[in-house]
Structure 1
């Protein structure tokens, strides 16, 4: 059963990786990043509504704390989706996905600020290595060269920070209700939040254009099936294992960008990407192993 659960987590990460590439295709066709995020979240909402309808027991929907934390989780997901796609539009799928993968570093920084964690030499060294990796990956040392823009870098990092908000909010919402109820509230909040910055006219026009199948695939893989697989898979998957297999997402997104979108990465960028992925994965494994012992 544990092996099957791990496969679920791998599939979820794979789906998220593909969603970045699909979003890149849509934005290359002129679609607004916020509209792409809105449609992704809206289709995801339909899936978790069905999940809640099939498993309504213990939803906790009458609990005020569940609503507060779940709404915050939804704001986190809205920021994660939107900033991720903005970063892709301003740079590349590979860079955006890797920057978003820095989320565990933000978890540590927030934990330091809240007094939940104490800084150590190991954690500080890991954070420094990640920062070096970000500089190499994004070409921050030569930002005028025409590669990734400052907006792209900032948006990529903000996508990771937003995901951190989701992680903390989901964690604090879990004792008050079921995962499916939390996701229903979260995705509802996401849709409400993204109505304002998105182009409503463009969002409505989606379903009358040749691009609508891509939007459906994006929503199904990037928010519907993937979140359900991930939540179900985590129940029987060790946190350390989940931390390692999560690397499937940025790797899949990067390969999609290179193979399908024709993006290129120079040697220093590849080295920076590897430095980030290895360091963040090791940091996540260290944290999850310690928290479960």
Structure 2
């Protein structure tokens, strides 16, 4: 596991942490629904990266194998976005985040065990326990079950399963398909897949400069750059480790909310944040660690 790839996953989780706040600001300002926000973040991310490739003169046709990987990643990401936001609508942000993001490492571990009977190292299991405990404490103040908690929890599990699938599917690169190309085509396709779902609830869009600034920031920085970093990290970071590090997302979101909206973390939230940080430190690459743990 290379340190720069590990840091790429940390960067991805950090950027994702600003997604909730940006989405909330955009939704409140422009009156846009959750599914429309998910659609716009994917479309803006994909189109921005396609434009970047075109300007660089590196936009090209993909091979059949590259298309299959990009389309599969796009479909899984669209499913993750839809499940996550639907989970929130049926339960709460806290419960959907805890189940949706927290279950992803468990799904990856179950997949690894089912396919080749591989058990994660003890250190990684300890890190998972610290991360999940920290996540539960961090979100303890927002774990309302909502109007239909069981259904919301089930949908959130779908989000965890699809995020785990994104990570496992991209464990190995397709030759010649770089992270930027991959994300560009995958997110353009995934955003188009979300158009019918967003249309069913009424597609909304920003109507002024501030709204479009939020939309572009959410698509380019929080989504495009983050997923490029995540796919780059998966070149040597094992999927199980990557999904645990991704649990930094709600910690960054909580810190950002405290700074921007003056929300208090509270004692349990602070302890939870420290446990999440300790889990990531425990997972960091060691100098004598082999290049890959696959």
TM-score with structure 1 setting the length: 0.71
1:166 paired residue number: 166
What residue ranges of structure 2 are gaps of 5+ in the alignment? none
2:34 paired residue number: 33
Partner deviation per Cα, 1:224-281 (whole Å, 9 max, x = no partner): 333345556x49x9749x9697565333211123333455555445545554554476
Secondary structure at 1:198 match in 2: helix
What residue ranges of structure 1 are gaps of 5+ in the alignment? none
Q: Shift in Å at residue 211 of structure 1?
A: 2.9
Is 1:56 equivalent to 2:55 in the alignment? no
1 CA distance for matches of 2:202 and 2:81? 18
Does 194-203 or 152-161 show the bigger shift? Answer: 152-161
1 CA distance for matches of 2:3 and 2:114? 36
Partner deviation per Cα, 1:162-187 (whole Å, 9 max, x = no partner): 22211222234523633333223311
Partner deviation per Cα, 1:88-130 (whole Å, 9 max, x = no partner): 5543479728952653333222211222623676666665666
**Contact 2:14–2:248 (8 Å) recurs in 1:** yes
Go from structure 1 to structure 2 and tell me whether the alpha carbon gap of 1:196 and 1:280 turns closer, same or farther (over 3 Å shift): farther
Query: Pairwise mapping of residues 172-183 of structure 1 onto structure 2 (< 5 A)?
Result: 172-175=172-175, 177-183=177-183
2 CA distance for matches of 1:227 and 1:276? 21
2 CA distance for matches of 1:97 and 1:55? 42
1:78 paired residue number: 78
2:188 paired residue number: 188
**Contact 2:109–2:119 (8 Å) recurs in 1:** no
Q: Shift in Å at residue 45 of structure 1?
A: 0.8
Of Structure 1 and Structure 2, the greater helix share is in 1
Secondary structure at 1:174 match in 2: coil
Secondary structure at 2:63 match in 1: coil
Secondary structure at 1:257 match in 2: helix
> Aligned Cα RMSD in Å?
4.5
**Contact 2:78–2:193 (8 Å) recurs in 1:** yes
**Contact 2:98–2:139 (8 Å) recurs in 1:** no
1 CA distance for matches of 2:87 and 2:21? 12
Q: Shift in Å at residue 75 of structure 1?
A: 1.9
2 CA distance for matches of 1:14 and 1:129? 18
Q: Shift in Å at residue 190 of structure 1?
A: 0.7
Go from structure 1 to structure 2 and tell me whether the alpha carbon gap of 1:87 and 1:267 turns closer, same or farther (over 3 Å shift): farther
TM-score with structure 2 setting the length: 0.71
1 CA distance for matches of 2:248 and 2:137? 21
2 CA distance for matches of 1:113 and 1:275? 29
Does 98-107 or 16-25 show the bigger shift? Answer: 98-107
Go from structure 1 to structure 2 and tell me whether the alpha carbon gap of 1:107 and 1:173 turns closer, same or farther (over 3 Å shift): same
2 CA distance for matches of 1:67 and 1:116? 31
**Contact 2:79–2:159 (8 Å) recurs in 1:** yes
Is 1:24 equivalent to 2:24 in the alignment? yes
Go from structure 1 to structure 2 and tell me whether the alpha carbon gap of 1:97 and 1:14 turns closer, same or farther (over 3 Å shift): farther
1:208 paired residue number: 207
Q: Shift in Å at residue 49 of structure 1?
A: 0.9
**Contact 1:95–1:137 (8 Å) recurs in 2:** no
Secondary structure at 1:47 match in 2: helix
Query: Pairwise mapping of residues 203-282 of structure 1 onto structure 2 (< 5 A)?
Result: 203=203, 205-208=204-207, 211-230=211-230, 234=233, 239=237, 249-261=249-261, 263-272=263-272, 274-275=274-275, 278-279=278-279, 282=282
Does 35-44 or 274-283 show the bigger shift? Answer: 274-283
